[in-house]
Amino acid sequence: MTDIILFYFLATMTVLTGVGVVMSENPLFSALYLVLSMTGVAGLFFLLQAPFVGAVQILVYAGAVMVLFVLVIMLIDINKSGEKYIGGNAAALFKGLAIGIFSGLVSAVVLRSPIVAKPALSNGSYTVLEIAKVLFTKYVLAFELLGIILLVIPIGVVALSRIKGGTHER
């Protein structure tokens, strides 16, 4: 019974703060709402017996990525940016229609799949040792490729931020 109450609490918090991210006029409020949303998802990970992933979620998302967002918001003048939402009623109508069709498709697929009625099991969570064993044997190639990406990305970011003016000027 406790986990149902906890689930509905975390789900409500995550969805409401998600609406806050999308609807806030001020990007800084969006960022702060996003921290709460990430924390709610981390709580759901703990509820799903994945404590390691939940801890990494808080460390990486609510910690590192959000600091990056807030620092960039600090660099810019947020009060100067003009239109907040896309212009034109026709474009908004078509985009709303596309979102509606997509969400209907997703919910139809979810509700018709046989996994929906599967009840929760009462087994223990995976330990960090078990996760590491799979990560460094079965997925070791993907892990190495991830290392290459994380090497290339900082170089690209430094190169991008050194560009002055247009794309072809130095």
The alpha-carbon radius of gyration of the chain (Å, integer) is 21
In angstroms, what is the minimal distance from the CB of 90 to another protein?
Answer: 14
- CB proximity list for 79: less than 8 A, separation 6 or greater: none
In angstroms, what is the minimal distance from the CB of 170 to another protein?
Answer: 13
What's the N-to-C CA distance of the chain in angstroms? 62
Does residue 62 touch another protein according to CB under 8 A? no
**Residue of the chain from 13, 36, 52, 58 that contacts another protein (CB under 8 A):** 52
Please report, to the nearest 10 degrees, the dihedral formed by the alpha carbons of residues 136, 138, 140, 141 taken in order.
Answer: 180
Does residue 65 touch another protein according to CB under 8 A? yes
**C-alpha span between 144 and 102 (Å, rounded):** 35
Residues 5-44 that bind another protein (CB under 8 A): 7, 11, 14-15, 18-19, 21-22, 24, 27, 30-31, 34, 37-38, 41, 44
In angstroms, what is the minimal distance from the CB of 38 to another protein?
Answer: 7
Does residue 55 touch another protein according to CB under 8 A? no
Does residue 126 touch another protein according to CB under 8 A? yes
**Residue of the chain from 79, 89, 122, 161 that contacts another protein (CB under 8 A):** 161
Q: b or e along 73-84 (b: 16 or more beta carbons within 10 Å of the residue's beta carbon)?
A: eeeeeeeeeeee
